[in-house]
């Protein structure tokens, strides 16, 4: 047999070379080497290229991945790594870091600051090449396909550890000792203890440092900005801004509530408004057209308050049938729901709609002030239209059940606990519903994200508090650096971010961490674990932000005075339930220290979905239960079998999937986490086949009563084992026509809980 080498020459096939690679790929792993050899031999043939041999080995190992043999994922990853080495260096070892940096600068991919600000010899010596073995197959394939840098011809020139070092260096360009901090940041990233968000991984250290993850903006009720108004403070101005933000890969949440409803009068033309929906179609097509650098469609989420006259039609814009002039299929609508609406639903009361241009104060008010003004307008007969609140609620739930939208988010809880309520109002969340920041005609909110991998902070069945503290402290510093290094596609985004300096530190691997500790997700112990873990992260994050001021000479954020922070009001102090493991004295002492010293960031915590970065690190996504023990995933390189990382703990009794867990446990865990978070969390709701409308109503009513700020996708169970799309449950026409009944949370035997 002959093989064809990469230079085109041929040589006799030498199975001993394959055997050496087999031994390298299986070292210290629990796999059947003889089975692997037999599978590889089936795939080898005369005239193969060396690259095809690598692919045959990868295919053989990946085909053996299963719940019974989970370690084969690491075997396949090592084969892929060996192939990547050959592509990048031509041999089986790393080149010196300086070689990679020089080539990246030469080809225009890296900023030249990477060569002038850092001691590359010292950083090269700090690289831990064994961290390559942390990757599983699917995680490494994603890194190779999407994250490792390529030159203009498409040739790879980064390897994984150089990738992490480049990201770390790019986040240290403004540090006093950039080499020392880069070494620390690198260790955090490459060990998978913490992972930055995808935009940061893509662009850190490059000539275009767009590092932010998401944006929130608001639409003013005018076609274009006039006179002294900001150019984006209009319908088409905000659409233009959204296009610019989307061009550089940001997900966008937009508040549309101020736009007057259909049929309302337009004084300047003596005509009638067409309302929000036609503009949402333009907004939708902008998302499709400005497709994030040609990589994917833009991701836009319009938010509308429930009292808006167009909300009734807004609920149905994702439907696949009906008048297409009232549909927008490529955006992600969300309901911005006041407490008063939920109370009216409980009371079977009437719900009134008001024209926002006539009563703009409703958009700016929340809580008791909103209720007082709303009910005053009702008494004065100013409502544009009225209908039973339960009809609106059923409309929301019906469309949520059928299309997955509108997402349900809670206006008053977001604003009641807003640490920045002295300088503005939260009018919406973002695309993934975890960001809750103020927006206005002059400020577009920006958030920079990253996530602690909680599963890497477990030792002997408990959280390693010292390690977690170290990780959070460095993570907050990295996120704070992003604010100053970031490229801002819009001036009002830059103004907002530099003034308030919000960041969103989240977590992933929570379910894996629970399994590692022997804790079931659907248990009181699991809820206590979520509570304690988030309390630690909250305490360490707030302390770290304060220490950036006290220990590192950075000043408090500009709008600190007058904030809840400046008054010693921390997230736990505004929570409905305030039990603490660290003790009230500990939290009160931290509050006093912040009053005295200040804090660097207006907001610090938000739990994002982490779908991609949890794949890189090989852990469970964010706060999600196990989705499936074995599943099929697809990316640009093909189809992949993925085994849940919790399998390795050999605790089948703890491997319950989302379809075996009552949603109440997701809500309970989310509720105790929310105590500690100054923003929000992406909370998916999972429902089994056969879920009734009344059950769904109870779930979301419970989420509101538990004090959740937002919810995210409703995911339904399919009949097959294929991965469900976000929306797959199809109710019968009568499901939501049944009477909606709400149960007392302490009465599990009532009809609505059956």
Tens-place pLDDT, residues 184-200: 999 999 999 999 999 99
Secondary-structure breakdown of the chain: helix, strand, coil percentages, each rounded to the nearest 5: 45, 10, 40
- pLDDT computed for residue 690 by the predictor: 87
The per-residue pLDDT for range 696-737, each reduced to its tens digit, is: 999 999 999 999 999 999 998 875 444 333 333 333 333 333
Out of 414, 432, 447, 622, the active site residue is 432
d(CA 632, CA 642): 6
Asked if residue 59 is part of any domain, the answer here is: no
- From residue 203, how far is each of 171, 242, 477, 480 by CA, in Å? 10, 20, 18, 16
Task: Give the CA radius of gyration of the chain.
Answer: 27
Phi, psi of 733 (to 5 degrees): -55, -25
Share of the chain above pLDDT 90, in %: 81
Residues pairing with 90 in the sheet: none
Report the pLDDT value the prediction gives residue 272, as an integer from 0 to 100: 84
Query: In the prediction, which pLDDT does 258 show?
Result: 97
Mean pLDDT of 587-597: 98
pLDDT tier at 579, thresholds 50, 70, 90: very high
User: Does residue 753 fall inside a structural domain?
Assistant: no
Task: Confirm whether 430 is a catalytic residue.
Answer: yes
Q: Where are the alpha helices (DSSP H) in 605-656?
A: 611-617
CA distance 362 to 385: 16
Residue 390 lies in a domain: yes
Q: How many domains does the chain have?
A: 1
pLDDT of residue 746: 29
- Cβ–Cβ under 8 Å, residues 463 and 457: yes
Q: Classify 367 in phi/psi space as left (phi over 0), alpha (psi -120 to 50) or beta.
A: left
pLDDT tens, position by position, 352-378: 999 999 999 999 999 999 999 999 999
Report how far apart the first and last C-alpha atoms of the chain are (Å, whole number): 67
Mean pLDDT of 530-538: 98
Tokens encoding 300: 């836009």
The pLDDT value given to residue 749 = 31
Residue 402 known to be catalytic: no
pLDDT of 2 over the 80 cut: no
| pLDDT band for position 751 (cuts 50, 70, 90) | very low
Q: Is the pLDDT of residue 63 over 60?
A: yes
Q: Could you tell me if residue 729 is inside a domain?
A: no
- Catalytic residue status for 434: yes
With vertex at residue 289, the alpha carbon angle to CA 287 and CA 295, rounded to the nearest 5 degrees, is 85
Does the pLDDT value for residue 389 go beyond 80? yes
pLDDT tens digit sequence for 624-676 = 999 999 988 876 667 888 999 999 999 999 999 999 999 999 999 999 999 99
Instruction: Supply the pLDDT for residue 214.
Output: 92
CB 473 within 8 A of CB 721: no
Helix, strand or coil, per DSSP, at residue 420: coil
The pLDDT-based confidence of 316 (bands split at 50, 70, 90) is very high
Residues 6+ apart with CB under 8 A from 373: 359, 361, 362, 365
What range defines the domain where residue 404 resides?
214-223+233-416
Distance between CA atoms of 494 and 489, rounded to whole angstroms?
8
What is the number of other CB atoms lying within 10 angstroms of the CB of residue 686?
Answer: 23
**Tokens coding 52:** 């095809």
The pTM score is: 0.92
pLDDT digits (tens, 9 = 90+) for 430-447: 999 999 999 999 999 999
Tell whether 491 is covered by a domain.
Answer: no
Position 631 scores a pLDDT of 86
Question: Which pLDDT score, from 0 to 100, does residue 294 have?
Answer: 59
Residue 146 per-residue DSSP state: I
CATH code, domain carrying 252? 3.20.70.20
Indicate which residue of 158, 241, 402, 434 is catalytic: 434
Q: Is residue 234 exposed (0-12), middle (13-18) or buried (19+ Cβ within 10 Å)? A: buried
- Two tokens at 495? 């103004």
pLDDT of 13 reads 74
Cα-based angle 449, 439, 213 (whole degrees, multiple of 5): 20
Residue pair 308/276 in contact by the 8 Å Cβ criterion = yes
SS3 state at 647: helix
Q: Which of 22, 430, 453, 601 is catalytic?
A: 430
Instruction: Look at residue 719 in the predicted model and tell me its pLDDT.
Output: 55
Is 241 domain-assigned? yes
Q: How confident is the model at residue 739 (pLDDT cuts 50, 70, 90)?
A: very low
| Length, in residues, of the chain | 754
In a domain, 481, yes or no: no
Does residue 245 fall inside a structural domain? yes
- Give the bridge partners for 508, in sequence order: 453
């Amino acid at each position: 047999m002959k093989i064809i080498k990469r230079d085109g020459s041929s040589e006799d096939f030498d199975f001993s070379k394959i055997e050496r690679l087999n031994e390298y790929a299986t070292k210290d792993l629990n796999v059947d080497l003889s089975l692997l050899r037999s599978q590889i031999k089936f795939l080898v043939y005369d005239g193969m290229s060396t690259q095809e041999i690598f692919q045959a080995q990868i295919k053989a190992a990946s085909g053996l991945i299963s719940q019974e043999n989970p370690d084969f994922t690491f075997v396949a990853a090592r084969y892929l790594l060996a192939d990547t080495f050959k592509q990048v260096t031509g041999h089986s070892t790393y080149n010196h870091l300086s070689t990679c940096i020089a080539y990246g600068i030469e080809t225009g991919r890296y900023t030249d600051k990477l060569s002038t600000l850092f001691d590359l010899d010292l950083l090269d010596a700090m690289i831990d090449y064994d961290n390559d073995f942390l990757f599983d197959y699917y995680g490494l394939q994603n890194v190779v396909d999407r994250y490792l840098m390529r030159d203009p011809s498409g040739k790879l020139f980064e390897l994984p550890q150089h990738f992490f070092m480049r990201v770390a260096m790019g986040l240290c360009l403004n540090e006093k000792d950039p080499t020392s901090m880069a070494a620390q940041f690198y260790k955090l990233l490459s060990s998978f203890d913490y992972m930055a968000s995808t935009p940061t991984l893509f662009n850190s250290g490059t000539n275009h440092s767009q590092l932010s993850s998401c944006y929130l903006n608001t639409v003013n009720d005018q076609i274009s900005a006039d006179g002294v108004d900001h150019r984006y403070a209009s319908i088409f101005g905000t659409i233009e801004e959204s296009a610019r933000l989307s061009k550089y890969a940001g997900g966008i949440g937009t508040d549309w509530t101020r736009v007057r409803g259909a049929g309302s009068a337009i004084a300047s033309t003596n005509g009638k408004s067409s309302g929000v929906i036609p503009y949402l179609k333009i907004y939708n097509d902008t998302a499709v057209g400005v497709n994030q650098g040609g990589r994917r469609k833009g991701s836009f989420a319009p938010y509308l308050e429930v009292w808006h006259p167009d909300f009734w039609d807004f609920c149905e814009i994702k439907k696949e049938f009906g008048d297409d002039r009232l549909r927008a299929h490529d955006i992600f609508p969300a309901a911005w729901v006041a407490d008063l609406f939920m109370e009216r639903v409980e009371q079977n009361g009437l719900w009134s709609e008001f024209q926002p241009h006539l009563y703009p104060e409703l958009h700016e008010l929340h809580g008791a002030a909103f209720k007082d003004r709303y009910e005053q307008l009702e008494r004065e007969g100013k409502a544009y239209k009225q209908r039973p609140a339960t009809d609106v609620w059923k409309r929301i739930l019906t469309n949520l059940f059928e299309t997955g939208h509108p997402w349900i988010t809670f206006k008053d809880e977001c604003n009641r606990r807003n640490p920045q309520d002295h300088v503005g109002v939260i009018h919406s969340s973002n695309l993934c519903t975890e960001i809750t920041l103020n927006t206005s005609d002059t400020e577009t909110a920006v958030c920079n994200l990253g996530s602690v991998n909680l599963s890497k902070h477990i030792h002997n069945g408990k959280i390693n508090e010292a390690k977690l503290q170290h990780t959070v402290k460095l993570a907050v510093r990295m996120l704070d650096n992003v604010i100053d290094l970031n490229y801002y596609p819009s001036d009002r985004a830059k103004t907002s971010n530099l003034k308030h300096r919000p960041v969103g530190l989240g977590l992933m691997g929570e379910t894996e961490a629970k399994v590692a500790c022997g804790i079931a997700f659907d248990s009181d112990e699991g809820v206590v674990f979520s509570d304690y873990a988030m309390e630690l992260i909250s305490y360490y994050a707030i302390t770290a932000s304060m220490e950036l001021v006290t220990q590192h000479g950075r000043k408090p954020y500009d709008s600190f005075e007058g904030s809840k922070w400046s008054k010693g009001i921390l997230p736990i102090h505004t929570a409905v339930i305030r039990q603490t493991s660290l003790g009230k004295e500990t939290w009160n002492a931290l509050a006093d220290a912040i009053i005295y010293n200040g804090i660097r960031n207006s907001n610090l915590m938000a739990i994002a979905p982490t779908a991609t970065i949890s794949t890189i690190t090989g852990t469970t996504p964010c706060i999600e239960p196990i989705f499936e023990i074995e599943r099929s995933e697809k990316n640009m390189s093909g189809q992949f079998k993925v085994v849940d990382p919790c399998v390795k703990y050999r605790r089948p009794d703890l491997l319950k999937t989302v379809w075996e867990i009552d949603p109440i446990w997701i809500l309970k865990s989310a509720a105790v986490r929310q105590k500690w978070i100054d923003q929000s969390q992406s909370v998916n709701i999972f429902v089994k086949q056969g879920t009734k409308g009344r059950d769904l109503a109870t779930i979301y009513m419970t989420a509101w009563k538990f004090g959740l700020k937002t919810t995210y996708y409703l995911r339904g169970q399919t009949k097959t084992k294929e991965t469900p799309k976000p929306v797959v449950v199809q109710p019968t026409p009568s499901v939501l026509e049944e009477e909606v009944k709400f149960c007392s949370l302490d009465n599990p035997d009532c009809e609505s809980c059956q």
